[in-house]
Copies of this chain bind each other. A is one copy, B any other.
């Protein structure tokens, strides 16, 4: 989605690659395997915060990067200056033309461990080169969209505004973090640039500094009510909420009403939320302002929101900052990008990465994902990872099984099987159009509602099934057995 406004944020991120992607590219070329067709999968292994699902995000930025992928003369000169590359390779880069196929799960879908969110097929040099940008883009936005989804679900029908730019990890942490927060369910952001770039609502009123600028708080509130008579929301904790901020706000609200305007409400940014909001709500109601809203914004996260709502705190809207924009409780999304197959004479040859840590073993081969829904309820039952050539015939029963405890089986009859991924690039050409961010948010909300409540549970959720088709399972265990036999004699 292009912005309606010129935001002068058209950076070239071609050089945002881990250096080894380039040294490997150099070696691929030297060894004559640069054009070898390979397949890479991007996937993650665990949902952050012990949650039941993640929300896919970042595809639109991945598209922007891939569309812009080219090496300038300065890029090539810089690489030459490191002394690590052959002129042949530098010449290859200077004439680089992206030609990969790329598949991705569209933004907004709930996604689960071990399924390939993105698959790249193409010449080894190219597919390898994308590793860092595929990962940083999808890892970051999926992390924040997932956190936002947790927070917004706890807030229920109260709005959640993203307020965290100042504590984000860098400018893009703020910009794309705001985008992802809205995908995850936030109603607005305080980040003006994100509002402009992604056409999402922006919000914000006053800071403590507004109050401090004036000789008295009352004077500060009055000045504000003159500037924004119909959207007057004042921050009441600069000096003392109950003894100063609240009575001054009510005084100004009455003056506003006398002039024919209705106040919007108040914001509190410190102190005990439950105690203060109950007092404030009662006072506002008694003073004749039952529609004045209460906004809270002090180091909030899903746990605090859950607790204060359970305690009966009176809140209409939350401003959530640093704990959302950095996903503070678990700030790393551990997506990986692994080679899963190569092509030889047109045949796909699965490849595996083995690890003593079983969960780090890859699922080999070129695959696709079906999401299986129960027909009547329209609720998701499982995701089934199939070989790219397999097709599910919905008219026939489908038996799925646990990939570890394989005797645990389930046969489905009344189901729908929907392909989860879309091709976004075909031989280097874009073949997908991203929806707007607000459309993605609405889509995400609808898709989350297609999950059973036990998967959405806040703590100890049910593990959603991500199963392998018999064909994929067999390919994996053949490779595992091969290497196990090879090393067992040593």
With the chains together, A339 CA to B211 CA distance in Å?
10
> Is A240 close to B, CB under 8 A?
yes
> Is A9 close to B, CB under 8 A?
yes
> Is A227 close to B, CB under 8 A?
yes
Tell me if A190 and B20 are in contact (CB < 8 A): yes
Q: Whose C-beta in chain B lies nearest to the C-beta of A12?
A: B8
B-contacting residues, A453-490, CB 8 Å: 483, 486-487, 490
Tell me if A192 and B27 are in contact (CB < 8 A): no
How close is A294's CB to chain B, nearest CB, in angstroms?
A: 17
Instruction: Give how many copies assemble into the complex.
Output: 2
Would you give the 0/1 interface string for A179-217, flagging 1 where the beta carbon is closer than 8 Å to chain B? 000000000001111011000001111111110110000
Residue of B7, B16, B237 near A171 (CB, 8 A) is B16
Tell me if A227 and B30 are in contact (CB < 8 A): yes
Residue of B18, B38, B79 near A191 (CB, 8 A) is B18
Residues of chain B within 8 A of A243, CB atoms compared: 487, 490
Tell me if B169 and A6 are in contact (CB < 8 A): no
Tell me if B5 and A227 are in contact (CB < 8 A): no
> Is A411 close to B, CB under 8 A?
no
> Is A316 close to B, CB under 8 A?
no
> Is A259 close to B, CB under 8 A?
no
With the chains together, A490 CA to B228 CA distance in Å?
29
Tell me if B16 and A136 are in contact (CB < 8 A): no
* Interface residue stretch chosen among A110-118, A322-330, A392-400: A322-330
Tell me if B353 and A208 are in contact (CB < 8 A): yes
Would you give the 0/1 interface string for A135-165, flagging 1 where the beta carbon is closer than 8 Å to chain B? 1100110011000000000000000000101
Tell me if A19 and B213 are in contact (CB < 8 A): no
Would you give the 0/1 interface string for A40-69, flagging 1 where the beta carbon is closer than 8 Å to chain B? 100000000000000000000000000000
Tell me if A196 and B75 are in contact (CB < 8 A): yes
Residues of chain B within 8 A of A240, CB atoms compared: 354, 483, 487
With the chains together, A271 CA to B21 CA distance in Å?
23
Would you give the 0/1 interface string for A17-34, flagging 1 where the beta carbon is closer than 8 Å to chain B? 111111110111011010
> Is A121 close to B, CB under 8 A?
no
With the chains together, A44 CA to B332 CA distance in Å?
24
Tell me if A167 and B270 are in contact (CB < 8 A): no
Residue of B6, B12, B168, B204 near A74 (CB, 8 A) is B6
Residues of chain B within 8 A of A322, CB atoms compared: 332, 334
With the chains together, A323 CA to B332 CA distance in Å?
8
Residues of chain B within 8 A of A326, CB atoms compared: 169, 326, 331-332
Tell me if B20 and A207 are in contact (CB < 8 A): yes
Residues of chain B within 8 A of A33, CB atoms compared: 213, 223
How close is A69's CB to chain B, nearest CB, in angstroms?
A: 13
How close is A429's CB to chain B, nearest CB, in angstroms?
A: 23
How close is A325's CB to chain B, nearest CB, in angstroms?
A: 8
How close is A10's CB to chain B, nearest CB, in angstroms?
A: 8
| Closest 8 pairs (CB-CB, A-B) | A170-B172, A20-B204, A19-B204, A27-B227, A135-B166, A169-B169, A209-B339, A15-B193
Known: A8-B72, A170-B175. 4 other contacts (CB 8 A): A15-B193, A24-B207, A84-B228, A168-B170
